[in-house]
Amino acid sequence: MTEMRGASLANPIKKAAAAFSGRLGVWGHHLETGEELAIRADEVFSTASVIKLAVMYEVFRLAGLGRLSLDEALTLDRPNMVTGSGILKDLDEDHRLSLREAATLMIVVSDNSATNLCIDRVGGWDAVNAAMDGLGLCRTRLHKKVFIPNPQAIGPGLGATTPREMGTLMLRIARRELLTPAACDQMLDILGRQQLKEPLVRDIEEFDNDDAPTDPLAPFALASKGGAVEGVRNEVGLFTTPRGRYVLSVFTNDSKDPRFHPNNEGVVLIGRVSRLVYEAWGRARS
């Protein structure tokens, strides 16, 4: 592991990852203190569904430019109905929904069919990649639509990024630096309704699956996007805690644990890393 900042976190994270069979990348930034953490933060990792954050950004960017409307109607067509996560695959062909609803489903339940509709509407993967180039995130790439082959794909899997780049996208949304403050707030609202947060908060008792704080006087919230395919578990999230906000981006690739199970080694490692960062950056000091 290289490029480590946040020295107090280095040894415990290395220890937590010592038995991991794959590759770990971490990037974190505390919005109030400016403290930063980086472990293999500039190495390229397969994204799985985390790349859907970039797709959502492009939806909101084009809406802000007036090139599309979040309220416009989309029609679910057979070519875009694919397996995996989500609910649209279980609905009737020709089901109609708004672009806003498709973008929401893409994030909150990681709906693959909704993602394909969004990718089509923004102009395809090249449009998403051009938007990332415009932000200086030149190693963040969407390769294709979900579960639909792309002979011109520039890489394997759904997409690629680095922990720093995906974390930076989340950070800039959190700071309301992109598009308009209202658009950032809308994106954060959708990310805050993500239903698949378990890896990041599984070892933090102050958080539960309903985001209800155990201490009503302290803020606890998480806006996040994760991704999982065989050998890959990734998460990027914005934490709101008693000691301020921080972004944490954790990527695990090349795991030899094939299980889609709560105790998959990548899921467990993400939980441990997140707990260590929370102890250092988020937990209230007595």
Map out the domains of the chain with their CATH numbers.
1-43+162-286 (3.40.710.10), 50-159 (3.40.710.10)
Quick one: DSSP state of residue 15?
H
Q: In whole angstroms, what separates CA 282 from the centre of its chain? A: 20
**CA pair distance 253, 157, nearest whole angstrom:** 12
Contact 124/150 with Cβ under 8 angstroms?
no
pLDDT above 70 (res 1): no
pLDDT above 60 (res 2): no
Per-residue pLDDT band for 219 (boundaries 50, 70, 90) equals confident
For 53, phi and psi rounded to 5 degrees?
Answer: -65, -40
C-alpha distances out from residue 172 to 34, 214, 216, 236, 284, Å: 14, 29, 28, 13, 25
| pLDDT (mean) for 182-208 | 92
Type of residue found at 126: D
Q: Which of 50, 74, 232 is closest to 142 using CA atoms?
A: 50
Per-residue pLDDT band for 57 (boundaries 50, 70, 90) equals very high
Q: Which of 172, 253, 222, 191 is closest to 52 using CA atoms?
A: 191
For the CA atoms of 18, 21, 27, 28, what is the dihedral angle to 10 degrees? Answer: -60
Q: How many CB atoms are located within 10 Å of the residue 201 CB?
A: 24
Please state the pTM of the whole predicted model: 0.94
Token pair 């909101």 is found at 60
Q: How many CB atoms are located within 10 Å of the residue 23 CB?
A: 16
Arithmetic mean of pLDDT over the chain:
93
The predicted-structure confidence for 249-285, as pLDDT tens digits, reads as follows 999 999 999 999 999 999 999 999 999 999 999 998 8
Type of residue found at 152: Q
**CA pair distance 209, 193, nearest whole angstrom:** 11
pLDDT above 60 (res 61): yes
Per-residue pLDDT band for 213 (boundaries 50, 70, 90) equals very low
Contact 118/55 with Cβ under 8 angstroms?
yes
Contact 140/125 with Cβ under 8 angstroms?
no
C-alpha distances out from residue 234 to 9, 49, 107, 191, 231, Å: 19, 8, 14, 15, 10
Per-residue pLDDT band for 197 (boundaries 50, 70, 90) equals confident
Q: Which of 238, 234, 203 is closest to 219 using CA atoms?
A: 238
The predicted-structure confidence for 92-121, as pLDDT tens digits, reads as follows 999 999 999 999 999 999 999 999 999 999
Q: Which of 75, 73, 100 is closest to 88 using CA atoms?
A: 75
| pLDDT at site 7 | 60
Angle in degrees, CA 54, 98, 86, rounded to 5 = 60
Type of residue found at 264: N
